[in-house]
Amino acid sequence: MNSPSIAVSAPSSDPNGDPPAPPAPPPQASAATRPLYWSVRRELWENRSVYIAPLAVAAFALLASVIGALCMPARMRVMPGLDPAARHAALVRPYGMAQAAIVFAAALVGIFYSLDALHGERRDRSVLFWKSLPVSDLTAVLAKASIPLVVLPLLAVAIGAATQLGMMLLALLGSGAGAPALWAELPVFQMPLLLLYGIVTLALWHAPLYGWLLLVSAWARRTPVLWAVLPPLAVCVVEKLALNTTYFAALLGRRLLGSHRLAFDVGPLSDSRYVIVDRLAQATPARFLAAPGLWLGLAVAAACLAAAARLRRLREPI
């Protein structure tokens, strides 16, 4: 005689007896960007000079502003005797000099960082450990490229804006009764926007230079700085000796220093009245974005980064 079979159903958390809904899959976007995010954070942990150098320059600029604030009353007494253009230039020039010093320090850090970014991890053989992690070579290279192209420009903007604000407050405190006239003369609300626009355009214009430095860092076994400088220098010398022209040297010069004249209306080089940029009306974003050199440079930067990622995958530790 067969015993009756009893069907046992699994308990359900739903009182209606419906099966529980499957768990929602994790968001794919955050999973894809998480390795890049932590790779960028690792670069910041290992390279403190990324933010220490611009902060040090800003500290020197503020120290100079403290000294200048002590001399501000004497300067304000001679200001009425100057013509309006000279007076405006004398008041605005210190802010431009401080901004230029911070940007120069950030660019210098970006150059040396890019030269050592991929070469250093092969030299100390830490690349073996980083390759064991689930991070692709392209992600690692993009994280390193984001330091000179994204992180350093943003730091320069934040530090530069804070420095300019501190310099303005010191100047207003030192000017005493002339503070209202000084406040009316300074383009307080335009300078941070101009700083952001100028640094973004500079980073985009210098993208192929940083891409080249990262490519050399991934390829060179020793002294990457020499391998980064000697090939362009050799091309310039050969062109001059063979053709008696300097087209490649002029191209390098425009790539290094040409973004300012494309991004701003600075007037002719012989006219010093247009050297100072402190008005949004001087920005020319349409001309900058329409420049073929910008897009050719970005294409070269993308090719250099792709080649650097491939070299990182193939090259062995030094």
**pTM of the full structure:** 0.83
**Residue 162 C-alpha from the chain's centroid:** 17
Q: Read off the pLDDT of residues 272-318 as tens digits, 9 standing for 90 and up.
A: 444 677 788 889 999 999 999 999 999 999 999 999 999 999 888 88
Q: Whole-angstrom Cα distance, residue 65 to residue 172?
A: 11
What pLDDT does residue 1 have? 44
Q: Which of 295, 299, 291, 205 is nearest to 252 (CA)?
A: 205
pLDDT single digits (tens) 26-75? 555 555 578 888 889 989 998 988 999 999 999 999 998 888 777 766 66
Statement: residue 145 has pLDDT above 90:
yes
**Percent of the chain, pLDDT > 90?**
48
- Per-residue pLDDT at 272: 46
Confidence band of 21 (pLDDT split at 50, 70, 90): low
- DSSP assignment string, the chain: -PPPP---PPP-SSTT-PPPPPPPPPPHHHHHHHHHHHHHHHHHHH-THHHHHHHHHHHHHHHHHHHHHHTHHHHHHHGGGS-HHHHHHHHHHHHHHHHHHHHHHHHHHHHHHHHHHHHHHHHTTTHHHHHTSS--HHHHHHHHHHIIIIIHHHHHHHHHHHHHHHHHHHHHHHHGGGHHHHHHHS-TTTHHHHHHHHHHHHHHHTHHHHHHHHHHHHH-SS-HHHHHHHHHHHHHHHHHHHHS--HHHHHHHHHHH-HHHHHB----TT-GGGS----GGGB-HHHHHT-HHHHHHHHHHHHHHHHHHHHHHHPPP-
Residue 13 is given by DSSP the state S
Beta bridge partners of 264: 283
- State residue 270's pLDDT score: 45
Digit-coded pLDDT (tens) for 173-210: 876 655 666 666 677 788 889 899 999 999 999 999 99
